[in-house]
Amino acid sequence: MKRAKGFELMKIVFITNLSTFDSKMLLTLKIMDFENKKTTPSTHFAKTTKKTEKAPPTKAPSKAPSKAPSIPPASSYGSGKVYNVRAFGANGNGVSSDSPAFLSAWAAACHSTGTATILVPAGFTYLLASPTDFSGAGCSATLVLEVDGLVVAPKSPSAWKSSGASAHWIQFTDCTRFTLQGKGIFDGSGAAFWAKGGSSRPMAIRFLRATNVQVLGITIRNSPMVHLKFNNCNGGLIKGVTISAPANTPNTDGIHFQTAVSNFEVADCKIGTGDDCVSVGTGTSSVSIHDTICGPGHGISIGSLGAGNSVACVTDISVFNIVFVGTTNGCRIKTTPGGMGAATRISYNNVTMVGAANPIYIDQFYGGGSGKSNAVQLSSISFTNIRGTTISPVPVYLSCSSTHACSQVVMSNINLVHTNSQPLASYCS
């Protein structure tokens, strides 16, 4: 094994005999109950959600009206008021667009006081046009969008009116202390987009310029591209969320953070898609991802960073108490040659692999271009308590730049076994 300059001493134990691996360990993993989780609004709002690691206990878009429409009095909902989209004209037949009703209910709740809930009741299928944009600017109430029904996107790509890099189905803009929750499902109807291919497909749900938001309990599935994206957001909790798409669907990341995103927590989620379960892009800091099951998918990834010779900045990312099931990668960091900037203080701790490929993977040559001298500097990275089964003969792969070598990379207590009892090796360059 070659050892690159700047690497700390690694303590790696490869178990090559399945009989020596404690199979009970995998059977006693904490598997969260995603079917019966509660979705009561939480009192948690992130001022700083970076969490200390510990063992688990363990063509013009639609816009809301500027004034609330004239409607019957809202009914009570706990300590606040409820605005049922059915009372605003939502048909719930899955054929005619319910976007106007949703936006009218949102506007009425927005202009109320205290806590106001927009209710999307169970038992109906609601078709929302693309794009459907909800704005929190100027709202006097603390808003909760309770989705218990099935919300579907248009099936035909020609019916989607949002295009370009920020193309989306549903967007929440300028929302503060907003909660999206419920037992319902958002279905992005992505099949026609997957067959069409290309990189300009829209995302399902996007938060833009949000502060202290929560996404609790909902299911998001079959997005044309990224399922849940955050840009220019500070403070958030994503808990008990299920995200799914077939394993062969391109670029269908579960959760993606990028550009001025900080103080977020992802917890108790179940994510299985055709790309990264969670991807951390440039401009992201102070994010913790924990107690989550990932698979199928490409793992939990930092990057890619530095594409197009850009400057990247990622700091203080903590990933712990994770189970990777049948993923093509586990703990992955990827940067593109020619990029600049830094990614630092990144940790993966207490992670279990179940038939996963590439459990530990750093690649500073992602996308090719090995002849470029610049690279995103990687430093202060740790992999601790990584165990389980892998299908890769080289489960630890570190490919670092010769001009901007990875530094302060520490590994401890790495215990991996090949699913077929094959011998294992590591690669460092």
Instruction: Catalogue the active-site residues.
Output: 298
Residue 336 CA, distance from chain mean position? 21
Strands, DSSP E only, in 15-63?
A: none
What SS3 state is found at 309?
helix
Buried b (16+ CB within 10 A) or exposed e, 227-262: bbbbbbbbbbbbbbbbbbbebebebbbbbbbbeebb
**146 class by beta-carbon count within 10 Å (0-12 exposed, 13-18 middle, 19+ buried):** buried
177 C-beta neighbours (distance < 10 Å), count:
18
Please give the C-alpha separations between residue 158 and each of 161, 206, 220, 228, in angstroms, as whole numbers.
8, 20, 22, 22
- The C-alpha torsion from 196 through 198 and 201 to 203, rounded to 10°, is 110
Written as one string, the DSSP assignment of 110-159 is HTS-SEEEEEE-TT-EEE--BSEEEE-TT--SEEEEEE-SEEE--SSGGG
- Residue pair 191/221 in contact (Cβ under 8 Å)? The answer is no
* CA dihedral for 194, 199, 202, 208, sign (positive or negative): positive
d(CA 407, CA 375): 13
To which residue do tokens 């090995």 refer?
370
By C-alpha distance, which of 154, 101, 107, 151 is closest to 131? 154
270 CB contacts (<8 Å, ≥6 apart)?
32, 34, 241, 242, 243, 292, 293
